[in-house]
Amino acid sequence: MPPVPLLPVAEAQARLLADLRPVAAERVPLAAAAGRWAAEDVIARRTQPARNLSAMDGYAIRFADRPGPFQVTGESAAGRPFDGVVGAREAVRIFTGAALPGGADCVLVQEEVAREGDTATMIGEGPRGVGGNVRPRGLDFAEGERLVRAGERLTPARLAVAAIGGHADLLVRRPVRVAIAATGDELVAPGSAADTDALPESNRVMVAAQLGDLPVDLVDLGILPDRLDALSDAFANVDADVLVTSGGASVGDHDLVQPALKAAGAQIDFWRVALRPGKPLMAGRLRGMTVLGLPGNPVSAFITTLLFVRPVVCALAGASDQLPAPVTVPLGEALRANDGRTDYLRAELRDGRAYASTIQDSSMLRTLARSTCLIIRPPHAPAAQAGDSAEILLLA
């Protein structure tokens, strides 16, 4: 039988994301919405600023009356406006954020004023014109305008604009439940006494940390043995939105994750993607859950988490941008031509240039730990020279 062609990365991502609908929405206080995605447009409930405000500490005057002298008739502070009107050759002492009194059309900064008793005289260049040093009503936004779009992430600045726009809580998606299992008879808990045939398990902590900035509730399924019944029992009982497994994804006699998933009732959508490392990735559905079977090699698990698990979680969390965004930088040194799989080379960014590690082995965690970016080598990319542009994914 001819080998099944591997699924290109972008096609695998598109297939995975196409059918995903965000999880249910919930309304939470602003602070709890940090880092989540808006489930509806955030619309301004007020106009900001609500009236013309002074941008500086100084004197509210009529521009035409410069350079004075002005008779100081009162004071306007933030939250305590002057309730009169500024008449001809009059000035009102004013502070940053205070309402501009009626009649005034600009603010003279106090550094440019000589004050004697109730008389103020302009001594500098003064405001640039009518409206000088004034923030007009609605400068930032008007009531009814959209401040944040549904599907945008609630960054610190977006939370702040929602707050000043009159919102105390926001509609977001509930946290995404992600169950993570490691599989392999050789695996033991990190730190436990390990003989030479035992291997400290490193994928669960890594994958969990890779999702650490996302709104997830993690369900730790522990380390599962390479036994069909144990695996299928564990998978059949998972209650989550996403089930992530690591290991047992390839073709060896002990690679039982796929048969166990099927025995638990899962449908496999695709298996094996044209990328390196991470080729044996499998994806499917089990009782409404998205299932991602990651390869066991630690670097393969890392890269498939970046390219597939995170985007799935982002989609379920209601993000409109789900995929990691590459940036373009010059290469620090030459690279060989690539074969038919997209390669994600562990690399370091130095002085704005990307340098790939000499050995690219999907078991090597120390190399990964030193890397600050991944150089993306598209399928059949020709040999590249130092200085050629390449797309990279930055690693935090």
Residues that bind ligand LQZAQKY5 (CB under 6 A): 182, 184, 186-187, 199, 201-203, 246-252, 255, 277, 279-280, 295-298, 300, 362-363
* Nearest residue to the partner ligand LQZAQKY5, using Cβ: 296
**Which one, 13 or 362, has the nearer CB to ligand MOO?**
362
Residue 165 interacting entry, from ligand MOO, ligand LQZAQKY5, none, C-beta within 5 to 8 Å by type? none
Write the CB contacts of 201 (distance below 8 Å, at least 6 apart in sequence).
182, 184, 187, 188, 189, 190, 223
Shorter beta-carbon distance to ligand LQZAQKY5: residue 115 or 254: 254
Tell me which residue of 104, 109, 139 sits closest to 124, measured CA to CA: 109
Least distance from ligand MOO to the Cβ atom of residue 303, Å: 8
Torsion from C-alpha of 201, 313, 175, 155, nearest 10 degrees: 110
The answer to whether residues 30 and 159 touch, using CB atoms and an 8 Å cutoff, is: yes
Residue 187: which of ligand MOO, ligand LQZAQKY5, none does it interact with, CB under 5 to 8 A by kind? ligand LQZAQKY5
* Identity of the residue, 278 or 318, whose beta carbon is nearer to ligand MOO in the bound complex: 278
* Residue (278 or 293) nearer to ligand MOO, CB: 278
One DSSP character per residue, 97-116 reads TPBPPBT--EEEEGGGEEEE
Task: Output DSSP code: residue 36.
Answer: S
Helices and strands in the chain, H and E counts: 8, 26
The encoded tokens of residue 389 equal 């542009």
Task: For the CB of residue 343, give the shortest distance to ligand MOO in the complex, in Å.
Answer: 10
**Pick from 203, 162, 219: nearest CA to 30:** 162
- Minimum CB distance to ligand LQZAQKY5 smaller for 158 or for 276: 276
Min dist. Cβ of residue 272 to ligand MOO (A): 10
Nearby residues of 4 by Cβ (< 8 Å), 6 or more positions away:
272
Candidates 186, 213, 181, 140; CA nearest to 286 is 181
Q: Which residues bind to ligand MOO, rule: CB under 6 A?
A: 276-279, 295, 297, 300, 362
Out of ligand LQZAQKY5, ligand MOO, none, what residue 182 binds, judged by CB under 5 to 8 A for its kind, is ligand LQZAQKY5
Q: Find the shortest distance in angstroms from Cβ 278 to ligand MOO.
A: 4
- Tokens matching residue 214: 């996302």
The edge-to-edge listing of strands for the beta sheet with 242-246 is 216-224, 176-183, 242-246, 289-294, 282-286, 267-271
Instruction: Write the single-letter amino acid at 55.
Output: A
We find the least distance from the C-beta atom of residue 3 to ligand MOO, in angstroms, to be 15
Work out what residue 332 binds among ligand MOO, ligand LQZAQKY5, none; the CB cut-off runs from 5 to 8 Å by kind: none
Q: Is 65 exposed, middle or buried (0-12, 13-18, 19+ CB in 10 A)?
A: buried
Q: How far is the CB of 350 from ligand MOO (least distance, A)?
A: 25
- 201 contacts which partner out of ligand LQZAQKY5, ligand MOO, none, CB within 5 to 8 A by kind? ligand LQZAQKY5
Q: How far apart are CA 28 and CA 154, in angstroms?
A: 12
Q: Which helix (H) or strand (E) holds 83?
A: none
Specify the residue, 93 or 279, whose C-beta has the smaller distance to ligand MOO. 279
Cβ proximity to ligand MOO: between 232 and 362 the closer is: 362
Query: What is the smallest separation between the CB atom of 354 and ligand MOO, expressed in angstroms?
Result: 20
In the structure encoding, which two tokens stand for residue 58, read together? 């100084």
Both tokens of 84, joined, read 């009169």
Least distance CB 239 / ligand LQZAQKY5 (angstroms): 22
Chain-centroid distance, C-alpha 153: 6
Residue among 65 and 255 whose Cβ is closer to ligand MOO: 255
Smallest distance, ligand MOO to C-beta of residue 365, A? 13
Q: What are phi and psi of 65, to 5 degrees?
A: -85, -5
Between 58 and 277, whose beta carbon lies closer to ligand LQZAQKY5?
Answer: 277
